[in-house]
Amino acid sequence: MTAPEDRLVIKIPTPVPDMGTDPLPIDPYISAEFFEKEREKVFRKAWLNVGRVDEIPEPGDYLVKRLEVINATIIVVRGKDNQVRAFHNICPHRGMQVTEAGCEKGHAEGFICGYHAWIYDLEGQLTHVPGKEYFPATDFTGLQLPPVTLDTWNGFIFINDQEKPKLGLQEYLGGLGDDLGAYPFDNFNHIARYRAKVAVNWKTFIDAFHEAYHVAEVHKHTIPDGCNSPDNPNAVPTSARLYPPHHSVSVPVNTAYVPSPAAALAWKFGASFAPGEVGGLPGMNPSGDEAWWFDINVLFPNFFIDVGPGWYFTYNFWPVSVDETHWEMNIYQLESTTAAQKIAQEHTKVLLRDILYEDLSTMEQTHESMKSGRLKEMIVGEMEVAVRHQLYQVQKWVDGKGSME
Is pLDDT above 50 for 215?
yes
Q: Is the pLDDT of residue 2 over 50?
A: no
Across 17-31, 190-204, 373-387, which has the greatest mean pLDDT?
190-204
- Mean pLDDT over residues 21-31, rounded? 96
Would you place residue 287 in the very low, low, confident or very high pLDDT band (cuts 50, 70, 90)?
Answer: confident
Say if residue 88's pLDDT is above 90.
Answer: yes
pLDDT category of residue 3 using cuts at 50, 70 and 90: very low
Q: SS3 for 177?
A: helix
d(CA 345, CA 325): 28
DSSP-derived pairing of the beta strands 311-321 and 246-252: unpaired
Classified as helix, coil or strand, 113 is coil
For residue 1, pLDDT beyond 50: no
CA–CA dist 34, 17 (Å, integer): 25
Residue 48's nearest CA partner among 199, 161, 182, 129 is 161
Question: pLDDT at residue 282 above 90?
Answer: no
Among the ranges given (108-112, 342-346, 349-353), the one the predictor scored with the smallest mean pLDDT: 342-346
Contact 153, 170 (CB under 8 A): yes
Name the band, by pLDDT with cuts 50, 70 and 90, for residue 388. Answer: very high
Q: Mean of the pLDDT values across residues 282-306? A: 90
Structure confidence at residue 80 (pLDDT): 97
Distance CA 226, CA 224 (A): 5
Query: Is residue 253's pLDDT more than 90?
Result: no
CATH 2.102.10.10 intervals, the chain: 48-153
294-314 average pLDDT score: 94
Q: Which of the given ranges, 78-92, 209-223, 243-257, has the highest pLDDT on average?
A: 78-92
**pTM (2 decimals)?**
0.93
- Per-residue confidence at 324, pLDDT binned at 50, 70, 90? very high
Higher-confidence residue of 321 and 5: namely 321
Class of domain 4-43+177-398: alpha beta
pLDDT at position 187 over 70: yes
Q: Write b or e for each residue in 281-305: b if 16 or more Cβ atoms lie within 10 A of its Cβ, otherwise e.
A: bebbbbbebeebbbbbbbbbbbbbb
HSE-up of residue 89 (Cα within 13 Å, Cβ side): 23
- Average pLDDT (41-47) is 98
What is the separation of C-alpha 96 from the centre of its chain, rounded to a whole number of angstroms?
29
Q: Could you tell me the pLDDT band of residue 20, with boundaries at 50, 70 and 90?
A: confident
pLDDT tier at 356, thresholds 50, 70, 90: confident
381 vs 269 pLDDT, higher one: 381
The enclosing H or E element of 370 equals: helix 339-371
Tell me the residue length of the chain.
405
pLDDT in tens, 131-157: 999 999 999 999 999 999 999 999 999
Instruction: Kindly state the percentage of the chain with pLDDT values over 70.
Output: 92
Does residue 214 carry a pLDDT above 60?
yes
Mean pLDDT, to the nearest integer, of 321-327?
A: 98
pLDDT at 113 over 60: yes
Is residue 55 over pLDDT 70? yes
The more confident residue out of 264 and 305 is 305
> Could you tell me the fold of the domain covering 48-153?
Rieske Iron-sulfur Protein (2.102.10)
Long-range contacts of 76-84 (CB under 8 A, 24+ apart): 76/50, 76/51, 76/150, 76/157, 76/159, 77/108, 77/122, 78/53, 78/122, 79/122, 79/123, 80/121, 80/122, 80/123, 81/123, 84/53, 84/56, 84/150, 84/152, 84/157
Give percent above pLDDT 90 in the chain: 65
Q: What is the CB neighbour count within 10 angstroms for residue 233?
A: 11
Residues ≥6 apart with Cβ < 8 Å to 150: 76, 84, 85, 86, 157, 158, 159, 160
The more confident residue out of 258 and 214 is 214
pLDDT band for position 122 (50/70/90)?
very high
| Average pLDDT of the residues in 244-268 | 79
CATH 3.90.380.10 residue ranges for the chain: 4-43+177-398
More confident residue, 353 or 8: 353
9-13, 253-257, 394-398: least confident range: 9-13
Question: 3-class SS at 27?
Answer: helix
Q: What is the mean pLDDT of the segment spanning 232-252?
A: 89
